[in-house]
Amino acid sequence: MKSTELKNIIQGIPKTELHLHLEGSFEPELMFEIAKRNNITLDYDTVESLKKAYKFNNLQEFLDIYYLGAKVLIHEQDFFDLTWAYLTKVHSQNVVHVEVFFDPQTHTERGVSFDVVINGIKKALEKGKEELNISYKLIMSYLRHLSEEEAFKTLEEALPFKDWIDGVGLDSSEVGNPPSKFINVFEASAKHGFKLVAHAGEEGPVEYIWEALDHLKIDRIDHGNRCLDDDTLVQKLIEDNIALTLCPLSNLELKVIQKMEDHNIVEILDRGIMATINSDDPAYFGGYMNENYYETAKVFNLSKDQLLQLAINGFEASWLSPVDKDKHILNVKNYFSALN
């Protein structure tokens, strides 16, 4: 297939995004604009010099820059602008449903209050629903390099906004911060009615995926690349219908894999696991949804059936109602039928 044809097909697929950190969608241009109006000096003089620093050897090197960038977000308007920029971008790529993470502790630790953060995000998400017809879920992520006690504090702060938050997640530095560190706060979060996800098996070992399932009782795994290390786990993922939110360009940029050809997405799909494609931190990893689909499809010469499966998986793995899932999946199937 010619690259323009492949790009056109991907563009037209009605897509979901289930693994996206809003702070990771912070484009340098907007970062400079917000820094300026907040009278904050960035460590870099220009957008170009900042972009040049986006070269990472591992997750931690990325996180260090990602947390620095987030420091310019102070006011509700900043969080609104960040979220709105993401929504308009993915709208242009025919993304119709998003389930996005925010990291409240990255902001509350700096003295920005929880309500400022969530009010800005929520207003943009609502506007996106009204004006762009993008449905959404919001996921509050606990930072795993911090203590469980601090996660509990965040849970308390979130409770007045419980109706706006659909689930909780776990992100940041994985190795050395296993899911088991957060058993109690995940149990408490579940009692409050939040759905549960966690990053596991990105850089960390397959045991972390087991822990996330057995101890945290999550119902979707973020990344989970390492799952193929354990056949028993593969069986469990299939039997329990547990989806993985894979992020191919992220894995490449963070050297989880050395080249795209090394990605195990096709094997994961072939084994019958519900894999989805997502962008993680698109402003840092060189691509949003279309680019993640395209780079994967190009390297593995994905068939239309495989693209169809990935797109359907995105809706199946989402937290949409069964009726909404069916409606979207029918749209996806009709889209692919019309291509042939």
Enzyme catalytic residues: 202
Q: C-alpha distances in angstroms, 20 versus 39, 178, 183, 228, 283?
A: 28, 21, 23, 23, 11
Closer of 179 and 312 to ligand HPA (Cβ): 179
- The answer to whether the beta carbons of residues 299 and 266 sit under 8 Å apart is no
Q: Counting contacts by CB under 6 A, is residue 172 touching ligand HPA?
A: yes
- Binding to ligand HPA by CB under 6 A, coded x per residue (else -) over 2-41, reads -------------------x--x-----------------
Q: Cα–Cα distances in Å, from 222 out to 130, 164, 291?
A: 28, 21, 19
Query: Which of Zn ion, ligand HPA, none does residue 202 bind (CB under 5 to 8 Å by kind)?
Result: ligand HPA
Near ligand HPA in 203-262, by CB under 6 A: 250
**Minimum CB separation from Zn ion for residue 4, in Å?**
30
Residue in 78, 99, 253, 281 binding ligand HPA, rule: CB under 6 A: 281
Q: Least Å distance between CB 12 and Zn ion?
A: 26
Binding site for Zn ion (CB under 5 A): 280
Placement of tokens 């170009």 in the chain? 48
Any idea which residue has 């995004």 for tokens? 17
- Mask 122-161, x = binds ligand HPA (CB under 6 A)? ----------------------------------------
16 residue type, one letter: T
Query: Which position's Cβ is nearest Zn ion?
Result: 280
Q: What angle do CA 226, 325, 92 make, to 5 degrees?
A: 80
Q: Which of ligand HPA, Zn ion, none sits in contact with 76, Cβ below 5 to 8 A by type?
A: none
Cβ neighbours around 32 below 10 Å, total = 18
DSSP 280: B
* DSSP output for 85-127: HHHHHHHTTTEEEEEEEE-HHHHHTTT--HHHHHHHHHHHHHH
Nearer to ligand HPA, 19 or 97 (CB): 19
107 is in an annotated binding site: no
- Which residues make up each annotated binding site? 19, 21, 199, 280-281
Binding residues for Zn(2+) are: 19, 21, 199, 280
